[in-house]
Structure 1
């Protein structure tokens, strides 16, 4: 499977909130570079991260544009995050159901049809301003 196909399936599963399908698209040793954060390694760490995110946020991605390199092993996506802040996330402003619309992007490495690395990026200061900190 080429990068573009894997990335499309990844975001389709995310938008359906089908975490089983979403996690199945990850390599067992996936590298996850968190926006303005650390690096996590492994599918289990990614699953824990997603449990936390889905507990604090409800998000749907729109305007997704996917690009890939010539051999289909790397890709990038640009999209808009349409979200609701459900539960206060540690170190961030208090949640009370605020909504936000946030441009974002991600870079991928694909191996054997699975996401081997993903690096997410968005403007945290823009998000904080939108949720009213």
Structure 2
């Protein structure tokens, strides 16, 4: 375990849970790579900011039961957690939003460079999420 990388990922998720987007985005490299679950790859902090603006408009989420793992050299990290969410506003191409609540296991992989997140790849089961929100 690498303490610096562990602390970085803990701070990243603490900022996410607090809705502190300034701190959250400050932990990313300018050329951050974001691999969206079952989606495309986006590059750059501005693209990540736009993604988060859309997410925060459409969803209210808290991440719990966090387990963070890091490589000994601190260049890689992974996290497993549960997303507790509420679907606030319909997201394009997804079922209509009616304030449905969901509980979704998820994970993320990180590449770390110069003390910042240089890549994040998120994974969750989209079909599980769709089934939960369609059930209401």
**TM-score, shorter chain, exceeding 0.5:** yes
**Counterpart-to-counterpart distance in 2, 1:3 and 1:98:** 35
Query: Does residue 3 of structure 1 match 2:14?
Result: no
Partner of 1:105: 107
Partner of 2:57: 55
Q: CA deviation at 1:93?
A: 0.2
**Counterpart-to-counterpart distance in 1, 2:5 and 2:95:** 36
State the secondary structure of the residue aligned to 2:54.
helix
**Counterpart-to-counterpart distance in 2, 1:70 and 1:36:** 29
Partner of 1:40: 42
**Counterpart-to-counterpart distance in 2, 1:8 and 1:52:** 23
TM-score (norm 1): 0.98
| Equivalence map 1:80-95=2 (5 Å) | 80-95=82-97
CA-based RMSD: 0.9
Query: Does residue 67 of structure 1 match 2:58?
Result: no
Instruction: Specify every segment of 5 or more residues in structure 1 that has no aligned partner in the other structure, as ranges.
Output: none
**Counterpart-to-counterpart distance in 2, 1:21 and 1:81:** 20
| Equivalence map 1:19-34=2 (5 Å) | 19-34=21-36
Query: Does residue 13 of structure 1 match 2:11?
Result: no
Partner of 1:118: 120
Aligned residues: 133
Instruction: Specify every segment of 5 or more residues in structure 2 that has no aligned partner in the other structure, as ranges.
Output: none
Report runs of 4+ in structure 1 exceeding 6 Å deviation.
none
Query: Does residue 96 of structure 1 match 2:98?
Result: yes
Q: CA deviation at 1:2?
A: 2.5
